């Protein structure tokens, strides 16, 4: 989508919607989502680019969504050690919209591709976002 930050980002952990998905087979740390889970995207807030419980007093993205794109979320180590405001927050690998529409900066893939990737993923693995090759 042209907005994902270029670089090599460590894969931190996986979150999943337990009401829609079983825990995925993976060597990565896995945790279920809950309806009150959010991710702070408010520059300047002490919880910037960190998980929070909703409602949260600053701007925060809701992770328990009606669409299915966050049924599986891979948390990437982008701007998290420590987070620097406003260098970007909530850069995830998640499921693609059925119409293939672009994300706001995340990486989105099809469910089976996600499951295949997670089955091979281990602690210490990273995801590389590289510039597109010229045509």
Q: Considering the chain, what is the average pLDDT of its residues? A: 95
Over residues 65-124, the pLDDT tens digits come to 999 999 999 999 999 999 999 999 999 999 999 999 988 889 999 999 999 999 999 999
What does residue 75 show for φ and ψ, rounded to 5 degrees?
-80, 125
Integer CA distances (angstroms), 102 to 99, 107, 116, in order: 9, 9, 22
Single pTM value for the model: 0.93
Listed by start position, the domains of the chain span 7-122
What local confidence, expressed as pLDDT, does residue 1 receive? 40
> Residue 25 pairs with which residues in a beta bridge?
none
CA distances from 131 to 7, 12, 22, 76, 104 (A): 9, 23, 34, 18, 17
């Amino acid at each position: 989508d042209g907005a994902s930050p270029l670089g090599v980002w460590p894969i931190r952990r996986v979150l999943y919607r337990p009401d829609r998905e079983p825990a995925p087979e993976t060597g990565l740390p896995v945790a279920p989502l809950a309806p009150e889970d959010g991710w702070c995207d408010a520059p300047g807030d002490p919880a910037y680019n960190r998980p929070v419980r909703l409602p949260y007093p600053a701007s925060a993205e809701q992770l328990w969504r009606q669409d299915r794109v966050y049924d599986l979320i891979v948390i990437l180590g982008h701007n998290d050690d420590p987070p620097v405001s406003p260098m970007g927050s909530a850069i995830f690998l998640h499921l693609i919209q059925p119409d293939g529409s672009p994300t706001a900066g995340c990486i989105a893939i099809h469910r089976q591709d996600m499951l295949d990737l997670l089955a091979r993923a281990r602690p210490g693995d990273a995801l590389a976002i590289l510039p597109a090759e010229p045509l």
